[in-house]
Amino acid sequence: MTEAERRAALEAIAAEVRACTGCRLHERRTRAVPGEGHPSTEVVFVGEGPGMNEDREGRPFVGRAGDLLVRLLGSIGWQREDVFITNVVKCRPPENRDPEPDEVAACAPFLRRQLEVLDPALIVTLGRHSMGRFMPGTTIGRAHGTFRPADPATGARAALVLAMYHPAAALRTSAVEQASFADIALVPSVLDDARARRAQLGDVVATLPAVAPAPAPLAPPTPDQPAPESPPLDQLTLFR
């Protein structure tokens, strides 16, 4: 899929999310929150569900938990625009209660389809509800800072999943905040592992064009024609 096709496919899913009446959460929402980010990113962050600020703006993680998420990303040199950020449920549970199992089930096809389109190398779960979708049968206390292959039934056909605490929990407890900074510091090396695993799974071969065009020969720079500048390294790292 090209970047434009991915962007269009994600926008089509977002339009369905905004019109969805598939569970009771639509009744009290101001705006649904489909998720946002770079359509060609290798990394997807999955939170629990929109809070009050997200419900008002229609965007994920824009409140205090979002500010902390931005700081966590900044600690590894990334910005929120470098990744894709979404949630297990796309409409705000009233009074920020936990989403009910039937609400999670009703919303699950949206997340699955987003992951099919994005085809990430790495999924980072934020909090226990998100972790529960990808690492069933464990607790957040045990799982945070650990990773495992994603079940392809989640929509992510060849990804690793890394569990983190929810940023809102980190805002409440300084030990959890410290653990969160330690956990996100693992992300670049887990992403490297995820890329290596995808290459082993044949991903690189599968996504290369059948006949790669030969690169155009580079003319040596002449004094009045300076060599083109390479893009900065950080623009090359996260996107396919």
Residues that bind ligand URA (CB under 6 A): 47-51, 54, 60-61, 65, 87
Nearer to ligand URA, 48 or 183 (CB): 48
Question: Which residues fall within 8 angstroms of residue 240, CB to CB, at 6 or more apart?
Answer: 40, 42, 207
Which alpha helices (DSSP H) does 92-166 contain, by range? Answer: 101-118, 128-134, 140-143
- Distance CA(6)–CA(139), nearest Å, equals 34
For 14, counting Cβ atoms within 10 Å of its Cβ (0-12 exposed, 13-18 middle, 19+ buried), the class is buried
Measured CA distances, 139 to 135, 160, 169, 173 (Å): 9, 18, 14, 18
Instruction: Give the whole-angstrom CA distance, residue 11 versus residue 39.
Output: 10
Q: From the CB of 148, what's the least distance to ligand URA, in Å? A: 21
CB of 182 to ligand URA, least distance (A): 20
Which of 66, 120 has the CB closer to ligand URA? Answer: 66
* Nearest residue (CB) to ligand URA, 91 versus 159: 91
**Between residues 66 and 158, which has the closer beta carbon with respect to ligand URA?**
66
- Which is nearer to ligand URA, 129 or 198 (by Cβ)? 129
Q: Tell the smallest beta-carbon distance from residue 82 to ligand URA (Å).
A: 17
Burial 157-178 (b: 16+ CB within 10 A, else e): bbbbbbbbbbbbbbbeeeebbe
Instruction: Find the shortest distance in angstroms from Cβ 29 to ligand URA.
Output: 13
Residue nearest to ligand URA (CB): 47
Which residues contact residue 54 at a Cβ distance below 8 angstroms, ignoring those fewer than 6 apart? Answer: 33, 60, 61, 62, 63, 66, 92
- HSE, CB side, 13 Å, CA atoms: give it for residue 156: 25
Closer CB to ligand URA, 88 or 158, in the complex: 88
* Cβ 47 to ligand URA shortest distance, Å: 3
Q: Which two tokens stand for residue 35?
A: 């998720």
How near is the Cβ of 193 to ligand URA at its closest, in Å? 26
